[in-house]
Structure 1
Amino acid sequence: MGIDLNGKTAVVTGSTQGIGLAIARRLSEAGADVVVNGRNAGRVDDVVATLNEQLSGTVRGIAADVTTAEGAETLVTDVGTIDVLVNNLGIFGSTPALEIDDEEWRRFLDTNVVSAARLTRLVLPGMMARGWGRVLNIASDSAIVIPEEMIHYGASKSALLAMSRGYAKAAARTGVTVNSVIAGPTHTEGVEDFVYELVDRDLPWDEAQREFMKTARPQSLIGRLIEPEEIANMVAYLASPLASATTGGALRVDGGYVDSILP
């Protein structure tokens, strides 16, 4: 099965590291013209230079803070026609439930939900008018299995599932699909820091990872953290013409972590 995104322009928010970077790389490998996005211009430039050295595709970068209306409009205007939008930007962190104040709730919802809704609202009309487009929201197993230590994060990812379904209905019968991808516990730089918040910092990484999965995520059926490239493979498929009949869905790449048949 060949995934061909030649002639398509794909924007991946929060793509200077981790899952976002892996998605940008995979979409470029599939032939898309990829736009890397982040807030730090120097970091964006470095990632673009590295990807263009390694890949034969076309990668460019736009530094913009898409948690603001101005930043989102700058990104969309500077890119022009957007065929694939991957709302990957997100924050996470652990805070006892009763210590999450109003400001922290707003910060998580604004970053993880409102920024994705804003960008989707900006690009969806153009996709619908052209009769083709893909919007993908990177959610989390925490949307379904709400972690006690980060309910604000889980609630924001639950909202992404609902948002994806709603926008898919708005784009019905236009050739545009909207889906969410439920990522399980994934090996990224940020997650390494999070793991060490919960286990002994003196442990070597391999031992720390095993201890974390055993004690904090024992439901995983693969018993390891997922690699970002494994998430990117699902995104590339959903972004392609091959996934034309998949919309309004929540597709799991969670290592079997969520103990249910449906999301």
Structure 2
Amino acid sequence: MNGKQVLLTGGTGGLGMGVTPLVLTRGAKVTIPYRNSAEVDRLKGILSPSDFEKIRFVAVDLTDETAVKNLVNDMGRVDVLIHLVGGFSMGKTHEYAFEDWKKDFDLNLHSTFLACKYSLAKMLERDYGRIVTVGSRGAVQPGGQMAAYSASKAGVVALTLAIAEETKDTNITANCVLPSVIDTPTNRDAMGAENADRWVKPESLGQVICFLASEAAGDVRGAAVPVYGNI
């Protein structure tokens, strides 16, 4: 990704803590949208000052279409989209509030659609691009009390594979990864750390993501790559 313009959403989150440093080591020029300055400070704590200075941070609500459009247009070009933004939720279907259901789809699916829509338009102008999204094991193996999460992540997978079909015969690829439980501080707080050694490490998932985002993955399109750890 040397010299490539990379839009890295969720780069300040738990998964981003593992992915962002890997993207930077590959020589990318990185733009990271964020919601609050605390997220940026957290990332600053794990990067060297020189690496931190390579990132362009932009305050953006990724569920706001106009904001996403302006974000992408201001970049000039987008060579790579790595979309990490998402969230996990649980609840029995018959008890789940419709407002919460819609929030899950806004966060997991609608943000993915908007980021892909405007990044893809830029990529088509130059006939080059790499799109990598994050689905979930739950998208292909739904579990109980995970209806909203699994359905919204299944939409991410379907969207990504549809883009891959639309971009055949171009130098644009679209692929997604399907992690199981990721070893993040949030998941440790919610689930305990007893089995964390079996979960997927952010850095391990980041290696897969960075490959799919690279020029070397030009022949990989429409893949949904399982990254399940030892679960």
TM-score (norm 1): 0.81
| 2:213 is the counterpart of 1:227 | no
Structure 2 CA distance, aligned partners of 1:186 and 1:50? Answer: 18
Classify the secondary structure of the residue corresponding to 2:16. Answer: helix
Output aligned runs, 1:14-29, within 5 Å.
14-29=10-25
Question: Offset of 1:225 from its aligned partner?
Answer: 1.1
Match of 1:254 among 215, 228, 231: 228
Classify the secondary structure of the residue corresponding to 1:51. Answer: coil
Classify the secondary structure of the residue corresponding to 2:200. Answer: coil
| 2:51 is the counterpart of 1:83 | no
CA contact (8 A) 1:86 1:137 kept: yes
Output aligned runs, 1:1-263, within 5 Å.
5-44=1-40, 47-48=43-44, 50-53=46-49, 55=51, 58-196=54-192, 205=193, 208-209=194-195, 224-255=198-229, 257=231
TM-score (norm 2): 0.92
Structure 2 CA distance, aligned partners of 1:141 and 1:115? Answer: 19
**Identical columns (%):** 29
Matched AA of 1:254 = Y
Question: Offset of 1:128 from its aligned partner?
Answer: 1.8
Classify the secondary structure of the residue corresponding to 1:149. Answer: coil
RMSD: 2.0
Q: Return the index of the structure with the highest Cα Rg.
A: 1
CA contact (8 A) 2:72 2:119 kept: yes
CA contact (8 A) 2:105 2:152 kept: yes
Match of 1:218 in 2: none
Taking a change above 3 Å as real, the CA distance of residues 57 and 43 of structure 1, as seen in their structure-2 partners, is closer
Question: Offset of 1:78 from its aligned partner?
Answer: 3.1
Question: Offset of 1:229 from its aligned partner?
Answer: 0.3
Question: Offset of 1:174 from its aligned partner?
Answer: 1.2
Classify the secondary structure of the residue corresponding to 1:66. Answer: coil
Per-residue CA distance 1:81-116 (angstroms, 9 max, x = gap): 111111111011221221112211111111101111
CA contact (8 A) 1:52 1:59 kept: no
Per-residue CA distance 1:130-171 (angstroms, 9 max, x = gap): 121011111111111112122110111111111011011111
Match of 1:199 in 2: none
Question: Offset of 1:226 from its aligned partner?
Answer: 1.2
CA contact (8 A) 1:52 1:58 kept: no
Of stretches 36-45 and 118-127 in structure 1, the one that deviates more from structure 2 is 36-45
Question: Offset of 1:190 from its aligned partner?
Answer: 1.8
